[in-house]
Chains A and B, each alone.
Chain A
Amino acid sequence: MADTDVELHVEFRGVSKSYDGQTLVVRDLDLDVRKGELFTLLGPSGSGKTTSLMMLAGFEAPTAGDILIDGSSVRETPPRKRGIGVVFQNYALFPHMTVGRNLSFPLEIRGVSEERQAEKVRRALEVVRLEGLQNRRPDELSGGQQQRVAIARALVSEPRLVLMDEPLGALDRRLREEMQLEIRRIQHDLGVTVVYVTHDQQEAMAMSSRVAVFHRGRIQQVADPETLYEEPEREFVARFIGDNNILRGQVTAVSGGTCVAETPGGPVKAVPVRPFRPGEPTALAIRPERVVLSSRRGLANEFEARIEEVLFIGDHLRMRLDLCGNRNFIVKIPNTVGHGAVLKGDRVRLGWAQMDCRALPDERAAV
């Protein structure tokens, strides 16, 4: 509401959805998608991402609430009139048509002249870098090429809004990363708004201008990738985005922007994400790469622990310790000169700064 200068493209207003009339798979969803951004719905399997996307595309009707596109409700607008390009999870390319025919399908339907069709198809193939594959059938293409055709088809009639449901789910890692950049580039070049669905948090981080984290049909947090990573506001987000060590404890003291929580391993100083009352349970989140192994003093939180396990990952070492009631406390140290000093069974001193430790509401009870 505060940003009146950014133009909203899509708005979800209190949208809920139930398939069976009992369980809500999407609950009271409020979302603003801005014009020209790549907005990602991120969440584990079954959290309601596809359902939300399908409601936006018009294939499912909301049980409650309303969806607005360009400021007006689309409740009564059938999918074919919403002017939205959709890239489906399994591409949904028409197997009995060539690539060219797949692409010209929406143009033929709209009565575009033959020459204009050819021109637009050619341009769309250029955008996804598939020039010259017009006459192939989808099953004669690799997975990555099929993916590009699906994107080209969604773009060919020049929609302003494109939805993509886990478009890279079936590709191997290398191709995924390449396609992530590709989609980013296309989105940027054409200036379209993209609503993107994925359950892969790295993908979401790499591509999105903003991410909405879903859990059990509810939005946990909406923010840009960096904020999501650095300033998670919910325990679920802290655990889902990247790695985080969670220490459970009780808030004992609050003062200004800091607090102290009592854990089984002793008091820990942290930054609370919202005002806590003393005695409230809390989940403290510490990023593994922010933990420092050191004998030098000066860190707000310092402990001593035995190294239970050391894993050599390549660019970093991953140590597992038993600390403050978390038997799976992970510490990552970069693979730089002198890393060989740590061995399994060693007792080490370690610590982290207060600002690297966020006190979040404990969600165990809510789960």
Chain B
Amino acid sequence: MARPLRSARLRAAALTLPLAAFVVVTFVAPLALMLVRSVHEPQVADALPRTLAALERWDGGSLPGEPAFRALGTELRELDGRRGLGAVATRVNRIESGMRSRMLATGRALGPGSPESWRDAVLAADPVWGEARAWLALQRAGERFTLRHYLRALDLDRDSSGAVVRISPDQRIYVPLLLRTLLVSLAITAICLVLGYPVAYLIANAPPSRSNLLLLLVLVPFWTSLLVRTTSWIVLLQNQGVVNDILVAVGLVAEDGRLALVYNMFGTLVAMTQILLPFMILPLYAVMNSISPEHMRAASSLGATFRQGFVRVYWPQTMPGVAAGSLLVFILAIGYYITPALVGGRTGQLISNMIAYHMQESLNWGLAAALGVILLACVAVLYAVFDRLVGIERMRLAS
């Protein structure tokens, strides 16, 4: 009796295998890779093994000895010959700016053969090797496992003694950007809630024929591509756009005083709110739809005004929907990329745009990964806080 049952279970489990494989390949593996990449950077260590070995007993202050110079000289020369020096130099440069060109110059300047004193030869190629900071940069870039991407992502650095310090205020980028992203996401969530709640209420309390139509209207935006929707906001909001034209025509705004509505934070807020609004309305609607209209009637038969009934009876019952919609919108907003990239201009960029920049332009994947992990951690922490406050199991996406 147990056997057919077990084989049926096995077969059922086997049916989920394609999905499981898909999730592993497209989600779990990249996530794991990102975690690893944010702390693991072996390229410099692999490229300069002898130099780094020679630096192991270096005191960090005085100049290193001849063996270190020899190792550096030979390894730079070899790398230059293999055209591998550029990638290594770029990584060292991230720790000590200016090092890229210096390393490239050194590699090029060292001729073939073995000089009498590697120390003199290397110093002649570039005097920077006479300074401890150049060697320190090599040493730190050579750490296989490192937290420096996280330090960077949190606007921290190590001073010469190795202690963690905050970098000077004018250079701090990531923490302010992260805070801005959190704040903007919060604002979008709040705006979506304020706009979406009455709409969901209206749909949930309309007669069936009308509520279906209204629901359709909420979903219509999904029929067009995200890109189209975002670019139409540009058409609407740009300097010579529809909104400004109307404002000028009506006389609210002077011809030379057209408002900057796009390519700034305002554009990001407007476009993202519009795009994320359905994700607020749908969970709210699902919950409201399951609240019997008898509850509000009961409240008023018990003496409550509409206001009292709403505040004490209806609103608390919609909390699961409010929670679900807010969490959904917030999480989507915090990682949103395309819309701020297109309409955000310089001031409307969010942290994901910075991640994309490091992925595609600066090719600092380690930093991009660290920023991604921090973002993930933020979401996880907020989720946990939220769970404490509202209770995820009470949250409903559908009735």
Contacts and interface: CB of A to CB of B under 8 A. Distances in A.
Contacts of A59: 297, 300
Interface string A104-125: 0110011000000000000000
Contact of B301 (A57, A94, A110): A57
7 contacts: A80-B300, A80-B302, A80-B304, A90-B292, A92-B297, A106-B303, A109-B304
A153 B303 CA distance: 12
* B contacts with A: majority SS: helix
A97 to B, nearest CB: 8
Contact of A92 (B298, B305, B316, B319): B298
Interface centre among A59, A90, A105 (most CB of B within 10 A): A105
B302 to A, nearest CB: 4
Nearest to A153: B302
Interface string A85-102: 110111010111000000
A187 B300 CA distance: 23
A202 B303 CA distance: 33
A79 B300 CA distance: 6
Interface in A65-97: 78-80, 82, 84-86, 88-90, 92, 94-96
B391 to A, nearest CB: 12
Interface in B178-214: none
A362 B308 CA distance: 53
Interface of B: 292, 294-295, 297-305, 308, 312-313, 316-317, 319
A86 B308 contact: no
Nearest to B320: A96
Contacts of A86: 297-298, 301
A106 B294 contact: no
Interface string A129-157: 00000000000000000000000011001
B299 to A, nearest CB: 8
Contacts of A106: 302-304
A105 B312 contact: yes
Interface in A281-335: none
Contacts of B313: 94
Contacts of B301: 57-58, 79-80, 82, 84-86, 154
Contacts of B319: 96
Interface of A: 57-59, 78-80, 82, 84-86, 88-90, 92, 94-96, 105-106, 109-110, 153-154, 157
B305 A88 contact: no
Contacts of B305: 80
Contacts of A78: 300
A94 B294 contact: no
Interface centre among B292, B302, B319 (most CB of A within 10 A): B302
B303 A157 contact: yes
Top 10 nearest A-B pairs (CB, nearest first) are A106-B302, A92-B298, A92-B294, A86-B301, A109-B303, A79-B300, A88-B294, A96-B316, A80-B300, A80-B303
B319 to A, nearest CB: 8
A92 B295 contact: yes
Contacts of B312: 105
B138 to A, nearest CB: 63
Contacts of B298: 86, 88, 92, 94
Contacts of A92: 292, 294-295, 297-298
Given A90-B292, A95-B317, 12 more contacts: A79-B297, A80-B301, A80-B302, A80-B303, A88-B294, A92-B294, A94-B295, A94-B313, A94-B317, A96-B317, A105-B304, A106-B304
Contacts of A79: 297, 300-301
Contact of A109 (B295, B297, B308, B316): B308
A153 B299 CA distance: 11
Given A94-B313, A95-B317, A96-B316, A110 B303 contact: yes
Nearest to B294: A92
Contacts of A95: 317
Nearest to A94: B313
